[in-house]
Amino acid sequence: MATTFHAPVTITLPAPQATAPTRLVPAEIDGQRILVACPTWCTIDHVTEPEARLEDLTHSGNHVDLMADGFDPAADQHGDGSQLFAYACIGANPAARTPQEREAGIIISDGDGFLLRLDAAQADQFADGLVAFAAQIRGLARTLGDRGVGA
């Protein structure tokens, strides 16, 4: 009986710019196991989350989730009355058409189609805006509390 050995094929996609170092990791593309350059911040298991085409392979880091209460109970994702309002993560799409999408950036999404892609400076500025927004929401809550509900 003949034994066939298939060595992993190494395909190097351009690594996202301005990122942490990369490492070679296995990925499954169209049923074939290959090695790809993957940023150290990427938490995707490219084997258990296979792609049909190499150009569909993307990189994503850990998500930071903003959960909100008071929405549709049918959308409760954790059994605690909350649902995902938005998330943020580092992401890159090495085969994207535009340089901005190929480079690592901060992705902010509602998980339902709305998407922002920010560089580090833009993300800092956006975070400052969120802090100011949170202060305004607290002010609205104090106003509501001072007047009583429905006043």
- Does any domain span residue 4? no
- Does any domain span residue 3? no
Q: What percent of the chain has pLDDT over 70?
A: 77
Which of 100, 82, 83 is closest to 91 using CA atoms?
100
Q: pLDDT tens digit string along 113-138?
A: 889 999 999 999 999 999 999 999 99
Are 71 and 114 in the same domain? yes
Residue 126 CA to residue 54 CA, distance in Å, equals: 32
Domain that holds residue 132: 119-151
User: Letter for the amino acid at 145?
Assistant: G
The pLDDT score that the predictor gives to residue 75 is 60
Q: pLDDT tens digit string along 85-119?
A: 899 999 999 999 999 889 999 999 998 888 999 99
Are 57 and 69 in the same domain? yes
